């Protein structure tokens, strides 16, 4: 089976930095996705990490350590519109599917 | 690129009726489409995976006779909730994977979701 853990909620101030951690234990692993989901909307793709290391895309960066079963999403220069749920998802090619963590609700305060 | 549409956006129906939800990839060919269900404040739960022209693979606990999936072409998949009951009320989201899109062939792109309310 697969076990994917991320914090339930985080609160941060506008302009600050927030790091959302995701740990996973899976029987197979091909990559890790991060999605953003605003309430009542579908998830939108943020990043995909296959190899160890940090990938930066503007204000958002994602890190992966395959040996530790660990990833994080870093949100910099937080804006009010960043208030959303952030979902990490493990991709397993065998079985061809994504398994999602429970999601982390981030609340950005002025 | 990588736009996925769903129709309808929301639907309210009476208990016992059937509801069909369409999922289309608008600017790429989706070799695989996925159907998820999401209850309030919960994460996405995969219901089934379908490849064009073949039968869908359902996740454990999902009734294939209740949730009928048809993936007739590389751009269209449908989910029919048969004999819907109030406990089927949920947010249903499809996603699609294919070639020729920026995120690579592993990336799933999600439709906007369909909110189903069964009275």
Pick from A44-53, A69-78, B38-47: least confident:
B38-47
In B26-113, DSSP assigns E strands to: 30-38, 45-51, 57-58, 67-73, 76-81, 90-98, 109-110
Give the residue-averaged pLDDT of A78-104: 90
Q: Given an 8 Å threshold on Cβ–Cβ distance, is B109 in contact with A45?
A: yes
> In chain B, what residues touch A96 (CB-CB under 8 Å)?
32, 49
- For B43, the closest of A40, A93, A103 (CB atoms) is A103
What is the per-residue pLDDT across B25-54, written as a single tens digit (0 to 9) for each? 988 888 889 999 998 888 899 999 988 878
**pLDDT of res. A34:** 96
How many other C-beta atoms can be found within 10 angstroms of the C-beta atom of residue B62?
17
Q: Given an 8 Å threshold on Cβ–Cβ distance, is B34 in contact with A97?
A: yes
Q: Given an 8 Å threshold on Cβ–Cβ distance, is B107 in contact with A42?
A: no
pLDDT at A103 over 80: yes
């Amino acid at each position: 089976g697969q076990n994917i853990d991320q914090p339930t909620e985080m609160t941060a101030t506008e302009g600050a930095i927030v790091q959302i951690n995701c740990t996973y234990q899976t029987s197979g692993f091909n990559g890790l996705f991060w999605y953003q989901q605003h309430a009542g909307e579908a998830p939108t793709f943020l990043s995909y990490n296959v190899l160890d290391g940090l990938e930066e895309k503007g204000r958002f960066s994602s890190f992966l350590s395959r040996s530790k079963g660990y990833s994080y999403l870093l949100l910099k220069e937080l804006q009010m519109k960043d208030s959303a749920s952030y979902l990490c998802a493990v991709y397993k090619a065998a079985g061809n599917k994504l398994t999602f963590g429970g999601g982390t609700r981030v609340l950005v305060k002025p | 690129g990588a736009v996925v549409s769903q129709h309808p956006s929301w639907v309210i129906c009476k208990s016992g009726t059937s509801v069909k939800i369409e999922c289309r990839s608008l600017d790429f060919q989706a070799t695989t489409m996925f159907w998820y269900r999401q209850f309030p404040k919960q994460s996405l739960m995969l219901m089934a995976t379908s490849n064009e022209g073949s039968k869908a693979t359902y996740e454990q606990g999902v009734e294939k006779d209740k949730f009928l999936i048809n993936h007739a072409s590389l751009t269209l998949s449908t989910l029919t909730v048969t004999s819907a009951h109030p406990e089927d009320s949920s947010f249903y989201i499809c996603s699609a994977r294919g070639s020729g899109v920026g995120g690579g062939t592993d990336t799933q792109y999600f439709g906007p979701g369909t909110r189903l309310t069964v009275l």
